[in-house]
Amino acid sequence: MPFEDQMQAILDTRPPVFSFVFGIPSADMLEQCRKRNIVTAGAATTPDEALALEAAGVDLIVASGFEAGGHRPSFLGSTESSLVGTFVLVQQIKSRVRTPVIAAGGIATGKGIAAAMTLGADGVQVGTAFLACEESGAPPFHREILFSGAARNSALTRAFSGRLGRGVMNRIALETAGKEDSLLPFPLQSRFMGALRQAAMQQNKPDLFFAWGGQIATELRHRKVADLMRALIDETGAILR
């Protein structure tokens, strides 16, 4: 579906928050969101990207550290030039913008939330911990990998989508390292790998399934959203008090 059609669906449904990556929507699109009281949140991987988001009038800036699972959402420079850790990035961005900053990447516990808030974050975004919960849209096969010993080793690779992204290291990520010139561009590589992904799940071959996830996967403890939320609230509150 073209981005313009996706954007129109957002404007029609009027969600409370519209979060986006890989750049900044047009000034007209952001204005249409403001008219509908839709809060906008854009991802930044560098201070320059944060400044660009603020200049565009985005409501919230998500400081996405390189620990985060999934794609690196860089848009002003190469992904390789924007691999800054979350807690450093939060401080770099917070000192340069007035827009509220949301810390993202490597946060799955109350300790992580409290640390981010102490460094100046106005909020946090938790991804991998919720992805691993039963209520997420991730296949059971994917969730089990995040709870397995394999999650100790994550990697940034283009092998599975054509864009640099982080997930649990596997055979394909290892064998394509240093050979990225032979990969298809995004999203063609993702479509190309889709059949392999399905076959790996059906045949129970985790070494051929790239499970998106962040470096914090080794610290996952909860399989239910209610249990995770309760732990995050209780742990964060206890520390900050």
3-state helix, strand, coil in the chain (%, to 5): 50, 15, 40
**How many domains does the structure of the chain reveal?**
2
120 and 72 co-located in one domain: yes
By the 8 A CB rule, do 155 and 167 touch? yes
Same-domain status, 64 and 82: yes
Cα separation values, 167 from 11, 45, 68, 88, 142, Å: 32, 18, 9, 21, 11
What is the tens place of the pLDDT at every residue in 161-217?
Answer: 999 999 999 998 898 888 888 899 998 999 989 888 899 889 988 888 889 999 999
- How many angstroms separate the CA atoms of 27 and 29, rounded? 5
Enter the pTM of the model.
Answer: 0.93
d(CA 39, CA 90) in angstroms, rounded, equals 20
Model confidence over 12-65: pLDDT tens digits?
999 999 999 999 999 999 999 999 999 999 999 999 999 999 999 999 999 999
Residue 38 in tokens: 């839709």
What average pLDDT does range 137-144 have in this prediction? 94
Domain check: are 15 and 54 in the same one?
A: yes
User: Which range of residues forms the domain containing residue 99?
Assistant: 3-126
- 75 plus 119 within the same structural domain: yes
Q: Is the pLDDT of residue 79 over 90?
A: no
Instruction: Based on the fold, state whether residues 66 and 120 are members of the same structural domain.
Output: yes
Residues 45 and 107 in one domain: yes
Render pLDDT for 92-131 as a digit per residue (tens, 0 to 9). Answer: 999 999 999 999 999 999 999 999 999 999 999 999 999 9
Choosing from 104, 126, 148, the residue where a domain stops is 126
pLDDT of residue 1: 76
Q: What is the pLDDT of residue 201?
A: 87
The amino acid sitting at 51 is L
